[in-house]
Amino acid sequence: MTPTSPPAASPEPPKPSALTLLLLAECASCRTSLPRLRPGLCPPCLLALAALAPGRVGLRRAPPGLPPLAAGGVYGGVLRRAVLAYKEADRRDLLPQLGELLAGAVIAHGGASALVPVPTTFAGRRRRGWDHLAPLAKAAARRLGVPVLRVLRARGRADSAGLGRDARLRGAVDAFAPRWGARRRLAGLPETASLVLVDDVATTGATLAAASRVLAGLGRRPVGAAVVAATPLWDEIHPERLRRSALPASTWS
Ligand SMILES: [Zn+2]
């Protein structure tokens, strides 16, 4: 396997047709040629993802209101390239693997009664041309046999891609609000229902903390947050569970 650069983000990624998806024949991570009709990842990249074991992670400078966090793995190597290919190049053929890792992160919290996706910003949706988190949350929820509760909405703000920690923290304050009918939907849940916030990547934890504060304001503080991948800014609480085997050394510099 020869690692290559991740696919470059384009402002408006072309929407692949069903036929294009059917004919995809390269690994989304290392771009090794794959037999036609077998999209996704090549066997070595699949093995690298399978070696990841989701677990709890912590942050030294956690923003106020951040619930306990679990990640499918560290954002680097094969996992980073797979997440980028999924988000920026619309590689929905990676949903089974990424959904499985997100479900694993939820299980690290002891499971959930329902998953609450962090809303994607309008700017992010427009840049990518689609809401990448909704199918991911659905894939994890299907795997866990629980519902997805879309009870939050994003207020108008800039996409956080490319922003530094302080800018993300500032931008995330009041970033979310309850969707119409959210209070009623949440009130319909049993008292013991446990909610887990889900997102694709945790960088500073700012958006997860902001979303958690809105849920807490509705009387439903989430028991945790789960992401497919956490950036190396995060300290590992269970280093043996978030294996570095899939990461190039440069990820940790
Ligand atoms: Zn590969």
Question: Could you tell me the CATH number of the domain that includes residue 86?
Answer: 3.40.50
Q: Is pLDDT above 60 for 223? A: yes
- Could you read off the pLDDT of 159-216 as tens digits, one per residue? 556 666 666 666 666 789 999 999 999 999 998 999 999 999 998 898 999 999 999 9
- 211 part of a folded domain: yes
What mean pLDDT is predicted for residues 71-85?
94
Residue 249 has a pLDDT of 33
- Could you read off the pLDDT of 122-170 as tens digits, one per residue? 777 778 777 899 999 999 999 999 999 999 998 866 555 666 666 666 6
What mean pLDDT is predicted for residues 38-59?
87
What three-state secondary structure class fits 218? Answer: coil
- Cα(197) to ligand 1 centroid in Å equals 30
**Across the chain, what does the average pLDDT equal?**
81
- Give the best-scoring range by mean pLDDT among 21-25, 45-49, 226-230: 226-230
Residue 108 has a pLDDT of 94
Residue 32 has a pLDDT of 82
What mean pLDDT is predicted for residues 231-242?
57
Residue 232 has a pLDDT of 74
- Cα(3) to ligand 1 centroid in Å equals 8
The residue type found at 224 is G
Domain around 213: 54-242
- Cα(87) to ligand 1 centroid in Å equals 17
Backbone conformation region of residue 75, classed left if phi is above 0, alpha if psi is from -120 to 50, else beta: beta
Report the number of distinct structural domains present in the chain: 1
What mean pLDDT is predicted for residues 242-251?
40
- 16 part of a folded domain: no
- 33 part of a folded domain: no
- Cα(230) to ligand 1 centroid in Å equals 21
User: What's the pLDDT band for 253 if we cut at 50, 70, 90?
Assistant: very low
Q: How far apart are CA 123 and CA 102, in angstroms?
A: 24
What mean pLDDT is predicted for residues 101-109?
96
- 29 part of a folded domain: no
- Cα(44) to ligand 1 centroid in Å equals 6
- 236 part of a folded domain: yes
Residue 63 has a pLDDT of 87
What mean pLDDT is predicted for residues 46-68?
88
Q: How far apart are CA 199 and CA 25, in angstroms?
A: 28
- 160 part of a folded domain: yes
The residue type found at 40 is G
- 7 part of a folded domain: no
- Cα(41) to ligand 1 centroid in Å equals 5
- Cα(200) to ligand 1 centroid in Å equals 21
Neighbours of ion ligand 1 (CB under 5 A): 27, 29-30, 32, 42, 45
Residue 86 has a pLDDT of 93
Closest by CA to 79, choosing from 45, 118, 124, is 45
Residues 195, 109: contact at Cβ < 8 Å? no
- 108 part of a folded domain: yes
